[in-house]
Amino acid sequence: MTSPKVLVTGGAGYVGSHTCKALAAAGFLPISLDNLTRGHRHAVRWGPLEQGDVRDGDFLKAVLAAHRPAAVLHFAALAYPAESVTRPDLYFDNNVVGTLTLLQALHAAGISRMIASSSCAVYGAAPTLPVSEDTPCLPITAYGASKLMMEQMQAEFSRAFGLRRFALRYFNAAGADPSGELGEDHDPELHLIPNALRVACGLRPHLDVHGEDYPTPDGTCIRDYLHVSDLADAHVAAMKALLDGSPGGVLNLGTGTGHSVRQVAAIVSTITGRPVPLRVGPRRPGDPPALVADATRAARIGIAYPRSDMPTMIATAWAWMTRRQD
């Protein structure tokens, strides 16, 4: 029996590639669609790669006709909040136009199941913690605004055309595939944990801390982190729910536990046995003081995070990084 096909836009990226591995383990054949501007061909290992842009409607039409996927997982997006402050044009073009083009292609092809990668950035500087799905969405960056627009388009296609969809608002992906096949590989790398690990292994002299005057216990930003493999499994669980008839909805993905920048740096030092010197600078545009999830709704469809304690996330990322160094 042939495996059911699932189209994964952005399948050569960090979260997309880990999700392709999880899909294959669950008995699906992932079809990666990626333009490879920020993804990596070597990360596409569990199914074919269709190289092209999600904004190209004719390309999407051909891919959907060739593979007839049972569902689509949509990761293709630019995802640097600070960059989006200075280049909102890029983010609205790639993230908003790309999603609309995909939705139009799915409707034309009669494909009615879609999971979209959204973000806690839709909430902006949330007034209370933890953040539930009912918290008002007031994004403070073009990135967050683009993700909220994506959700709104999904919702309208659901009302008008019967699209069954999930929008998964996840907080901060971290860690690496525990078997060492995949990891985080961005250029530039702006995420906290890989940059702290680069300091630990001598590739950087210090870890830049963007502000220490936030209203948090140690003055640095607090975030909710979850292991990228747990995040991948969450996408598979949401897709299975759609295939079983769920109408979908909006879900937060997070652990409900926050860590500050200083706390993460200290745990990196403990795990690696090496110092992580800090260099404090000004705040970075688009950084809210704290974001921690209320993920109660996601737990109702069986989503859990067994690898998402901070030492495990750091240890798997460290193992992957040092293996690459070797």
> Annotated catalytic sites, by residue?
143
Contact 323, 162 (CB under 8 A): no
Nearest to residue 29, comparing CAs of 17, 18, 21?
Answer: 21
The whole-angstrom separation of Cα 260 and Cα 214 is: 11
Residue 232: in which H helix or E strand, if any?
helix 228-243
User: Which of 165, 173, 228 shows the shortest CA–CA distance to 21?
Assistant: 228
Beta partners for 281?
Answer: 210
Look up tokens 């993230």; give the residue: 95
Q: How far apart are CA 167 and CA 33, in angstroms?
A: 19
The amino acid present at 192, given as its one-letter code, is L
Neighbours of 269 (CB within 10 A): 17
303 in Cβ contact with 297 (< 8 Å)? no
